[in-house]
Amino acid sequence: PSKQNPADGCSAAVTVAYGFAETIFIYPITPTTPLGEAADQWAVAGKTNCFGVVPKVQQMQSEAGAAGGVHGTLVTGALSTTFTASQGLLLMIPNMYKIAGELLPCVFHVAARSVAGQALAIFGDHSDIMAVRQTGFALLS
C-alpha cells in the first residue's frame, strides 16, 4: 500500500509542476510564493524531476518576464511552467495569446484570487481566471 501524506494546495501543485518541468520561471506573488520558493529550494538541493534532471529555476523581474521566459523555452521544445495569481496573471495575457496561438504545451499554475480595483484585494474568487478566458488557454480547476 502507498503512503499518503497530507498537503495543502500549493504543496501539491509544486510537486507536480516540479516533477514535469525542465524550466520553471518564477516571480513570487502572494498566494503562489510558496510554489516558487519550494521549486527554487529543490533545484538548489539537486532534486531531480520525473525525467532525472534538475529543472532550471529562474526568478524574473516581473510576471510578464516570467511568461516571456516560459514562451521562449517552449519555442525551443522545453517543458516549462510558472506560478501566478491576480494582477500577475493579467500581465501574462500578451504571452498567453502567443503561446496558445502557436499551440505550445505548457501549464500556468494559478492560485485564483480577486483582481484588485481601487485597493488591494486578497479575496479568493475567479475574476483573474475569467479575465483570461479569451486567450485560447484551456482552463482546468
- What are 26-81's pLDDT values in tens digits? 998 778 888 999 999 999 999 999 999 999 999 999 999 999 999 999 999 999 99
| DSSP letters spanning the chain | -PPP----HHHHHHHHHHHH-SEEEE---TTSHHHHHHHHHHHHTT---TTSSPPEEEE-SSHHHHHHHHHHHHHTT--EEEEE-HHHHHHTHHHHHHHHHTT---EEEE---PPPSSS------SHHHHTTGGG------
